[in-house]
Structure 1
């Protein structure tokens, strides 16, 4: 097997997943305000967790606790997306493949159906290519058509490595304090085809999320 095939193989993805599990165990993790949205899901409601692309590394290990809900996650069809999707699947998440640039409409339909059946999903708001800190329309449309409530997720780390990537992707340093904070659920988005109303909801979500972006 050549190097490129190895890097995108399921065997390598499993090794990455195991490394993240072990590495994340070295972090001093604190989860804040988790109960309200979990109670909503367990009472029959639907929730779409929203996070910035730069912060998802820290969520991989703790989000395994939600595997019991069989949650859904939309991942791009890129080669890098293959790796991320495989790691997410090992974590117990059901991945739907597509993005705004490729296969987005089909993937959104699948995510909506998955939320209606399983009640929990997550969405990377500015992925896979950015711009960083700009919420795309997908999360609002998925929430509107599925009846899910949007829940912001913020990740903070006292010490971290910040990469020179489009999103300033970061990885917490070993033994650093990491806080995963769930914001309050947004009101349910009424069904509408009014583009101005959709933009209002998109901007409202962006305004709530941006203060948590690591610059």
Structure 2
């Protein structure tokens, strides 16, 4: 029974259902977007941009991010079964999805993502995904920024009413008709300075991002 259920979950009709369900559910949000035009101006001026956020907060942005399909965006997603579902939804939203993580296929996916950024100049990255720990920036984003000359633009989501799952990332799911805010912060320029090594760059990004992390468990 369990094997049959798993087979159904990863079929094309079910993935199609999930995609439209997510869009319909997200349409109930009373969404407010802040500081979006500043990084779009940079992107339109041929400055590569990578949007970065925490794993717990990406759901709230899925519907809105379909609007970025015209920029040919890229997003690394793990090769797990859950990643397959997420990747399928992202592709239907117009996103290119190199598949891999630190545990499997990461080197190949990173190379593909860097090539995509060097060609199209736009992508997004989940900093502590796909398995955490929560609030820990993985080093791949630094390599990605250095090899593409991309600026990192943090974004955070919050809601006046939301559920927080008892998962490693304290996943946040806004309740129907919640007021949801999608907030973009000032761009971060990752430069390979003589007095700042790779770990310093990673640590600086992590400290910048941590204030936007939600710790609720309710």
TM (normalized to structure 2)? 0.94
Q: Report whether the alignment pairs 1:26 with 2:28.
A: yes
Residue 197 of structure 2 corresponds to 197
Q: Which residue of 1 aligns with 2:151?
A: 149
CA drift at 1:197: 1.2
Q: Does residue 211 in structure 1 map to residue 202 in structure 2? A: no
Alignment counterpart, residue 140 of structure 1, candidates 135, 142, 162: 142
Of 8-17 and 173-182, deviating more is: 8-17
Contact 1:145 1:191 in 2 (8 A): no
Runs of 4+ in 1 over 6 A off after TM superposition: none
Question: Which residue in 2 is equivalent to 1:169?
Answer: 171
Pair 1:38-2:37 in alignment: no
Structure 1 unaligned blocks of 5 or more: none
Contact (CA 8 Å) 2:150, 2:189: kept in 1 or not?
Answer: no
CA deviation after TM superposition for structure 1 residue 2, in Å: 2.8
Other-structure match for 1:131: 133
Please name the residue that 2:188 is paired with.
186
CA distance in 1, matches of 2:181, 2:117: 26
**What does residue 76 of structure 2 align with?**
74
Contact 2:47 2:121 in 1 (8 A): yes
1:9 paired residue among 8, 11, 15: 11
Q: 1:9 to 1:207 in 2, by over 3 A?
A: same
- Do the aligned partners of 1:144 and 1:191 also contact (CA within 8 Å) in 2? no
Structure 2 residue 144 is the aligned partner of structure 1 residue 111: no
Q: How much does 1:8 deviate? A: 1.1
C-alpha displacement at 1:80, in angstroms? 0.6
Contact 1:125–1:139 under 8 Å retained in 2: yes
- 1:132 deviates by 0.3
**CA–CA distance in structure 2, aligned partners of residues 13 and 191 of structure 1:** 45
CA–CA distance in structure 1, aligned partners of residues 13 and 142 of structure 2: 35
In structure 2, distance between residues paired with 1:117 and 1:191: 25
* Aligned partners of 2:190 and 2:201 also within 8 Å: no
The offset of 1:191, in angstroms, is 7.9
Residue 182 of structure 1 and its aligned partner are, at CA, apart by: 0.6
Taking the aligned partners of 1:118 and 1:133, their CA distance within structure 2 comes to: 28
d(CA) in 1 for partners of 2:191 and 2:21? 39
| TM-superposition CA deviations, 1:173-203 (whole Å, max 9, x none) | 11111111111111242388x9x61111111
